[in-house]
Amino acid sequence: MSLKLEMPSFRRMNGSLVAKAGCPLILAAALAVPAHAAGGLTLVPSIPSVMQRHHSDSSPDFSTEARQRFPWFVSLGLYVPSFTGDNTSNSAGAEIAVGYRYATDIADYRISVRGQEYSITDAFFNQSTIDVSEVAFDALFRFEGLYAGPGIALGSVTGTTNGFTFSGANQTVFSATLGYDISPRLFIEARYQMAGVDAYKGYSLNLGYRF
């Protein structure tokens, strides 16, 4: 048996050439070649890769270099004294802090000036406004955006009762801090402090901004 390859023949119709034979073979080849070529090209990235790249681009950067770009901070929050006296009651107050941090691969070391104000009322309804001032040093160890660590401060306290002002003894204040960076600039922070004088004992919850 011999195999005969029939080439398409053409005839002229209305001024144009029309193939009489072999049209199905030509059409199939024409369709197959682009489909095969397109299979070897990747013109558009897959959806999972686009989503993964977008997620990595939007993740906050907590590297040492990124933290060093915003060394200064200010925070403001609620302060609650944690001591109780004989026939006295305490009212929540406020805390404000301004400071500077030095970021390293292991921890953030920072110095800050802090002020706390709250009121205390005795059994005779005499109210005193207590003001605490501190120069604080903290070592805050990090895990991505989460950080925690101990601190030490030198503090002084003053108050007013019925128009009279009194001063307390300067004290060494010990503290513990737990915080989280919402973004490279914004953070929230819980802090507890204690000393030998009751007026220093309390905890705070703050919202801060780095710059």
- Rounded to 5 degrees, what angle do the CA atoms 68, 70, 71 make? 75
pLDDT band at 57 (very low <50, low <70, confident <90, very high): low
- Global pTM reads 0.68
Res. 45: pLDDT tops 90? no
Res. 118: pLDDT tops 80? yes
Percent of the chain with pLDDT over 90: 52
- Selection from 73, 60, 58 nearest residue 146 by Cα: 60
Predicted local distance difference test score (pLDDT) of residue 51: 45
What Å distances lie between residue 13 and 16, 19, 20, 23, CA to CA? 5, 10, 11, 16
Under 8 Å between Cβ of 158 and 165: yes
> Which two tokens mark 74?
């200010």
Predicted local distance difference test score (pLDDT) of residue 87: 77
Under 8 Å between Cβ of 205 and 78: yes
Predicted local distance difference test score (pLDDT) of residue 54: 43
> Which two tokens mark 193?
């402090």
Res. 62: pLDDT tops 70? yes
Helix ranges, 74-175 (H): none
Residues with Cβ within 8 Å of 57's Cβ and at least 6 positions away in sequence, in order, are none
> Which two tokens mark 150?
């101990």
Res. 115: pLDDT tops 80? yes
More confident position, 175 or 122: 175
pLDDT band at 26 (very low <50, low <70, confident <90, very high): very low
> Which two tokens mark 168?
């307390």
More confident position, 82 or 25: 82
- Average pLDDT rounded to a whole number, residues 109-118: 97
pLDDT band at 16 (very low <50, low <70, confident <90, very high): very low
Other beta carbons within 10 Å of 50: 11
Secondary structure letter of residue 26 according to DSSP: H
Helix ranges, 64-112 (H): 64-68
pLDDT band at 160 (very low <50, low <70, confident <90, very high): confident
> Which two tokens mark 25?
């073979």
Residues with Cβ within 8 Å of 49's Cβ and at least 6 positions away in sequence, in order, are none
